[in-house]
Amino acid sequence: SAVISQKPSRDICQRGTSLTIQCQVDSQVTMMFWYRQQPGQSLTLIATANQGSEATYESGFVIDKFPISRPNLTFSTLTVSNMSPEDSSIYLCSAQASYNEQFFGPGTRLTVL
Amino acid sequence: SQQGEEDPQALSIQEGENATMNCSYKTSINNLQWYRQNSGRGLVHLILIRSNEREKHSGRLRVTLDTSKKSSSLLITASRAADTASYFCATDRSNTGKLIFGQGTTLQVKP
């Protein structure tokens, strides 16, 4: 298994600002991902965080809005840029461990005013 | 787009009863994983079942997979109030780790 931590756990931000969310895994993993969970909804994959190269974004998500870094095999950041109230969601990072099991962090609850 | 649909959307049972949640998906998969989420917090990994497996057990949890029907079920036996949570299935179609989640089932276990 993999133990994942995220910072911050929650934040309240003003419209037009940006927030960077950090994700730390307790072991080296090949695959890391970022998901969004809008209020009352299920999870949607934002992107795959690739170590040493640009993230791979899913349809509907773009790098300018959600820049992602992955400098090594245990750490990744997601920035939510130029925020609007529609960005209010829980953002979760995940890591794929051995046997393809995917583990999630505790999430970052973002509220944009 | 969502790969899976889960039913029921909401389930309310008494402590001690069994709870069954179903998940259907649209395309072939490599594996299917079940998760629990308490009150909008992070997801807890419950079970992974591969496409060549039909049933797996973990404690009070039993997961079945029927690839011919493109469906899976999660059975929680002897439920407890602490099992109250939302349960999600997630499929990995191509072993890329890119999970597609169902809409989830909200389970309430009354003491």
**Distance in angstroms (rounded) separating the CA atoms of residues A17 and A113:** 10
Candidates B61, B81, B86, B60; CA nearest to B73 is: B61
CB-based contact B95 A48, cutoff 8 Å = no
The answer on pLDDT for B2 being more than 60 is no
Is residue A82 within 8 A of residue A19, CB to CB? The reply is: no
- Give the contacts of A98 (CB within 8 A, at least 6 positions apart): none
Residue A57 has a pLDDT of 97
Comparing CB atoms, the residue among B42, B48, B95 nearest residue A101 is: B48
What are the DSSP calls for A19-82, one per residue? EEEEEEESS--SEEEEEEE-TT--EEEEEEE-TTS--EEPTT--TTTS-EEEEETTEEEEEE-S
- Beta strand B99-101 with B4-7 is unpaired
Give me chain A's average pLDDT, please: 95
pLDDT tens, residue by residue, B42-77: 899 999 999 999 999 999 999 999 999 999 999 999
Give the Cβ contact number of residue A88 at 10 Å.
Answer: 17
pLDDT-based confidence at B1, cuts 50/70/90?
A: very low
CB-based contact A31 B42, cutoff 8 Å = no
* d(CA A33, nearest CA chain B) in Å: 8
pLDDT tens, residue by residue, B14-32: 999 999 999 999 989 999 9
CB-based contact B95 A100, cutoff 8 Å = yes
pLDDT tens, residue by residue, A57-100: 999 999 999 999 999 999 999 999 999 999 999 999 999 987 88
3-state secondary structure of A85: helix
Candidates B99, B63, B106, B62; CA nearest to B85 is: B106
Contact list in B for residue A43 (CB cut-off 8 A) is 43, 88, 90, 99, 101
pLDDT tens, residue by residue, A34-55: 999 999 999 999 999 999 889 9
CB-based contact B43 A104, cutoff 8 Å = yes
Is residue A3 within 8 A of residue A25, CB to CB? The reply is: yes
* d(CA A42, nearest CA chain B) in Å: 5
CB-based contact A90 B40, cutoff 8 Å = yes
The answer on pLDDT for B40 being more than 80 is no
Name the residue in chain A with its Cα closest to that of B88. Answer: A42
Candidates B29, B31, B34, B30; CA nearest to B19 is: B34
